[in-house]
Chain A
């Protein structure tokens, strides 16, 4: 250390050097993500080659070479691309099938009412969920049934012999009243045996019958709508009717089966397990065959269901087995303390399930239910095998029309169907992922 040492102290900072080119910017990104090693570079080129093989031809087919307008096959014959003019000409059929032109507003009304009821239901932040659910599961199905079929179902009665009273709507209501009275009486007797208040029981039983009766009343009431038989239904209408009825009908059945499978009563548990595993073990096609060929054999003479209803029964039973397994997953995820807490409060089995366990369990299985719905939605295409015309069936049957017969008609039709199904399924799967994230509040493992 000498006196002459003059310390050099800089008063300002040096300009920051930019980070080396090799660590930031697109070049560095590409080095890290595309060409980090020789095998990786080969993979990158392989991926680019796959894209090159698939994407340009599809764009060329669907957009560049496509024919957008025209009347009849001549417009599309010359081109090497999609014939969208054909889809345009058939668009209404793809949605409504052969539903009469003058009555299509009814289908539109059902679609839009369904969307109006469903959208707020799906958004977790929108209030009035209970009223919304009552509308969607109670009011809407009856209204949709009346609008789509025209309602005015013939009610003939089912209990009293015809000699006593001629078949008529009145007879149906008399029969209905008798059944309600007998069941309410039986329940009242059992309640009295248990030493509890019978008024409550009678009120509950009669209430259920009144609500059911109201639905039947509206289905049978003549609103002046023209009757539309289900064999003229088709296209997206059938796809949605099968999928939505399947899922809505399978929900209560699935809950009952799931509870049955976890029941302590051996006979109930055994029956539930057999039912669930039998349906889950067979393909949907055999179920549809069964409902279209075997079901009519099982019914007494004179009772016939139309083809759509038979398919709906098959689909509902089939999906209820899957629904049951979903719900069972939810039931198992509820901690045992919840069950014990409910029992300690002195709740009955149904109170415990209805007020404590199921509300929590069903919330947990919403993603699973949406996933079941997605696979059911895709599986509805199978109904074309038993001769119903869903969206795919309608498209498939339009290929036989000589006015639009070109080499690329079928490609165009399949592309259109694929886009529609993909849009539905992809958005549902996004929703399911969204709900999963939202419901994953940390108490699950």
Chain B
């Protein structure tokens, strides 16, 4: 403050209403008051309306008997099970679709994204057309296409498409042989664990040796050999305890084996093919973000194209790829709720659909459902943030 005007004098001249602290406080109090008022109004109205419609409130309904069957359950479930059980069945089905969809979408997406950058004119054009075509068509339409137009119009079980008498595809679903683990099958599991530990140990040792002597050990192929070979040896030693249970046509349908319901196949196909286009674009952008100088520098150091891609380009590209990739995974998980349109028994379909219609407890059911998705989103983004932070540390 210049001259004779002191800070106190200036403060006196400012009206209380122009004090930013008082203003800020007032704004926040008004905002909170409005929200509390609205919340009270909503809850009050909801209580009145529910009472009028004779609908119970609270979470007691979760213990009631459901009384309906579900076509695909990963845990024991029958019509006598409770609504709480229905919730877990739906949740597991959602997670199953999301996980398999994410794996497939990632594989397709990376292949297509790299293909778009290929020198090969045919391949890059095919990839471009795929991306531009598929990502501009609504997912629900694609889901309808796969489910109603493709899977539902497959031949009936008697004329099903088959691959060497073990895999069958018809309008009842996708029939695969089911592995049956006999006595001694545990040995294979032990062998697999040993192989994993050995691979990690070899990788560690190879790193140390390379630092010391500069000699490179083929860790990748040794690892593959161990991971495939050890369980195979264990399988033979234990006297081949794993047998396959084939699906057999009996009457009008198949019995035995592993049946994958067409709703699941359709949903996974639609989700992974649609999301893969977005992942492909992310991968392409990520690789393009690594400047060409990096590749040239790597070549001038004498690295061959393979190690250049693996050691120089991909680690830097991953840093650009991972954050948007996370949001695509989340999108896929959320989009799996479209299952309700083709009646795949996921969380939204059985819980927010059937259970809500049976009990009428819309508020509780939708609250639980939304919290689950919110929770899945938060967990995924936390994990990805952690991974991202780890990746970013490599910088220096």
Contact = CB atoms under 8 A, between A and B. Distances in A.
A36 B122 CA distance: 13
Contact of A421 (B17, B24, B138): B138
B138 A47 contact: no
B378 A281 contact: yes
B138 A378 contact: yes
Given A294-B362, A414-B144, A407 B153 contact: yes
Interface in B89-135: 118-123, 125-126, 132-133
Interface stretch (B27-35, B179-187, B189-197, B309-317): B27-35
Contact of A48 (B27, B31, B122, B340): B122
A375 to B, nearest CB: 9
Interface in B16-52: 16-18, 24, 27-28, 31-32, 35, 41-42, 45-46, 48-50, 52
A43 B141 CA distance: 31
A265 interface: yes
A299 B45 contact: yes
Interface string B132-157: 11001111110011001100010000
A267 interface: yes
Interface stretch (A135-143, A214-222, A283-291): A283-291
Contact of A301 (B18, B49, B119, B126): B49
B370 A286 contact: yes
Contacts of B136: 374, 378, 421-422, 425-426, 429
Contact of A414 (B16, B149, B348): B149
A126 interface: no
A44 B31 CA distance: 63
Contacts of B374: 277-278, 281-282
B48 A301 contact: yes
Interface string A264-281: 111110010000011011
A290 B366 CA distance: 7
Q: Which has the most chain A C-beta neighbours within 10 Å: B122, B335, B373?
A: B122
Contact of A422 (B15, B137, B145, B373): B137
A418 interface: yes
Q: Which has the most chain B C-beta neighbours within 10 Å: A32, A285, A299?
A: A285
A194 B356 contact: no
A379 B138 contact: yes
A265 to B, nearest CB: 5
A294 B366 contact: yes
Contacts of A284: 334
B27 A193 contact: no
Given A194-B17, A379-B138, A411-B149, A286 B352 contact: yes
A385 B373 contact: no
Contact of B370 (A36, A282, A425): A282
Interface in B333-374: 334-335, 337-338, 340-341, 348, 352, 356, 362-363, 366, 369-370, 373-374
B149 A298 contact: no
Q: Is the interface of B mostly helix, strand, loop or mixed?
A: helix
A36 B15 contact: no
B42 A293 contact: no
B90 to A, nearest CB: 13
A52 to B, nearest CB: 11
Contacts of B377: 280-282
Interface string A392-433: 100010000000000100110010011001100110010000
A265 B28 contact: yes
A385 B366 contact: no
A346 interface: no
A422 B133 contact: yes
Contacts of A278: 370, 374
Residues of B in contact with A, size category: 35 or more
Interface residues of A, number: 61
Interface in A177-216: 190, 193-195
Contacts of A294: 362-363, 366
Given A283-B373, A381-B141, A418-B137, A190 B126 contact: no
A193 B16 contact: yes
A34 B133 contact: no
A280 B363 CA distance: 19
Contacts of B140: 381-382, 384, 392
A229 B46 CA distance: 27
A1 to B, nearest CB: 47
Interface string B245-279: 00000000000000000000000000000000000
A321 to B, nearest CB: 12
Interface string A350-392: 0000000000000000000000001000110110110000001
A78 interface: no
B352 A289 contact: yes
A121 B352 CA distance: 42
Contact of A283 (B119, B337, B363): B337
B46 A298 contact: yes
Given A44-B123, A194-B15, A281-B370, 6 more contacts: A267-B31, A282-B334, A301-B45, A378-B137, A414-B148, A414-B149
11 contacts: A46-B123, A193-B17, A266-B28, A267-B31, A268-B27, A278-B374, A281-B370, A286-B366, A297-B50, A301-B49, A382-B140
Interface of A: 32-34, 36, 40, 43-44, 46-48, 50-51, 190, 193-195, 264-268, 271, 277-278, 280-286, 289-290, 293-294, 296-301, 374, 378-379, 381-382, 384-385, 392, 396, 407, 410-411, 414, 417-418, 421-422, 425-426, 429
